[in-house]
Structure 1
């Protein structure tokens, strides 16, 4: 089979090669992977950014994947050959609150990922793919989709009429916009591009702020709510945007801390945290039970993931460079 293999950290050290097909052991399912997609996390992983928490050599990267069952190991009951399935990000996180055990095994990091024609996964590490989604669309939900669902619905508890602030036009932010609108919330989005702003409006954003033109966008976002403030910020920027996020939220509002696109350290005025009585909640993808709930909601609300660009597996290095450039709108798919 063909697979992308990282011999040592760095995009230049990632190559597509021929490997022996894996065969399923007891309780495992062999999946013919048809599609994958990229996340910022994959870029960090390929560059070795997770240190001892990831395989540093011999890693098949990418957490996202979808395809159909090619073979099953002894004892497998849930799936049979031909079933369409999607591997989940944390195979051992079945439900409930996160734990060290639940998050110890992560696809494309501490465990082999989905940038390959075939992969073997534990039976409990898969979910059925909804009929209404293509393989590329299903793959795009594994990390970005579930992270956004966890932030907006599972932990955010967003209700009709609430205000949600999203940042940028990457996969998590677009999913967060879609889920928030499905829950009946009002959405303010930020971007640096007027062209992207128009597309965000088309997707349902009530207001869009260009953060290059409006540097104090947190204050501007709060003003758009009539001064009440944002109920939930889906924070993908990290420390570099946290102060603006704190400026935007209501008293008792929440910030779902997801990414570090704007940096890991900055001068944050902790007075904003105290004055707003805010809750800053870290979000790391989600469980299998959450994934199933997300799929049910997507079917009920006819939500389709937004695929920005597609690359062949052979062009995975070019795809990662495109991810790094940040010009995409939504998800970057990999055709396997």
Structure 2
């Protein structure tokens, strides 16, 4: 089989397409013939700075992939050959709060990921693909889709009638917009592009703010909420935008923090003064993913894919992610 691997050179140019033997499934394992991957900022960061993540040898990148069950190992009862499946970001996180044993099971980091033609996954490390989705659409769900669901619904506790602030138009923000629209939640979405803001409006964004026109965009958000602030912020920017997000959230509000896109420092005093709940979100467990898929299937939601690349052009897909001009998800078709 063919597999892309991170090598010692590092970076996008250091990705290497190699041949590996097709693995054989052991007990409670399934062999998946992969049909699509999607790329997350985390995948790009891993490739560009693998040594900082403890990766010293060849490692297959990418956490998110979907495909067809090719073969099952002894004891597998939940799936059979021919089933359409999507992998879970963490192979060891089935339910409940995150714990130390979860971290070493993240695909495309501590263990090999899915930018390859075949992969071995645990029986408990996959879920059925919602029937109405293509492989390309399903491949966008394990990280960005589930993170958005956790940030907004399960961890974020947002409900119909509340207002949520979404930053930018990357995968998590656009998924959050779709899920909010589906759930009756008002959204305010920011971007530096009027074209992207217009697309977000078509997806149901109630209000939009161009942060180049309004550098102090938190003031515009307060204006749009009559001075109260939003109930929840899905914070993808990180330290560079967190201070503005704290200013934009209401007293007693909540911020779901996933972002590492911008650097900076934050004074925690404002968090205390407003009694803000600031929570880190790192994807979610398998049972939460299953609930997301149920909601997606029930509502017929289709993920937004900005651009699709062929497997042989995987480097170009990462360069597109690096340019940060995408709206929704970037996908590699295998």
Normalised by the length of structure 2, the TM-score is 0.97
**1:273-292 correspondence to structure 2 within 5 Å:** 273-292=271-290
Q: Deviations over 1:295-323 (max 9, x none)?
A: 01111222110000001111111110110
Verify the 8 A CA contact 1:238 1:258 in the aligned structure 2. Answer: yes
Displacement of 1:220:
1.1
Q: Deviations over 1:45-87 (max 9, x none)?
A: 1012572x44332100000100010001111111100000111
**1:146-225 correspondence to structure 2 within 5 Å:** 146-225=146-225
2-11 vs 166-175, which deviates more? 2-11
> C-alpha separation between the residues in 2 aligned to 1:239 and 1:77?
45
Q: Which residue of 1 aligns with 2:48?
A: 47
Q: Deviations over 1:134-184 (max 9, x none)?
A: 101111001100011111011111111101000111000100111112121
Q: Which residue of 1 aligns with 2:308?
A: 310
Does the residue aligned with 2:5 lie in a helix, a strand or coil?
strand
Verify the 8 A CA contact 1:156 1:254 in the aligned structure 2. Answer: yes
Does the residue aligned with 1:314 lie in a helix, a strand or coil?
helix
Displacement of 1:260:
1.2
> C-alpha separation between the residues in 2 aligned to 1:301 and 1:279?
30
34-43 vs 100-109, which deviates more? 100-109
> C-alpha separation between the residues in 2 aligned to 1:324 and 1:56?
23
Q: Give every structure 1 segment of 4 or more consecutive aligned residues whose post-TM-superposition deviation is greater than 4 Å.
A: none
Q: Which residue of 1 aligns with 2:80?
A: 80
Q: Which residue of 1 aligns with 2:17?
A: 16
Pair 1:299-2:300 in alignment: no
> C-alpha separation between the residues in 2 aligned to 1:222 and 1:233?
13
Does the residue aligned with 1:65 lie in a helix, a strand or coil?
strand
Does the residue aligned with 1:327 lie in a helix, a strand or coil?
coil
> C-alpha separation between the residues in 1 aligned to 2:60 and 2:103?
18
Q: Which residue of 2 aligns with 1:129?
A: 129
Does the residue aligned with 1:299 lie in a helix, a strand or coil?
helix
Q: Deviations over 1:24-57 (max 9, x none)?
A: 1111100000000100000001012572x44332
> C-alpha separation between the residues in 1 aligned to 2:213 and 2:202?
21
> Gaps spanning 5+ residues in structure 2: where?
none
Verify the 8 A CA contact 1:166 1:189 in the aligned structure 2. Answer: yes
> C-alpha separation between the residues in 1 aligned to 2:296 and 2:318?
27
Q: Which residue of 2 aligns with 1:6?
A: 6
Verify the 8 A CA contact 1:45 1:54 in the aligned structure 2. Answer: no
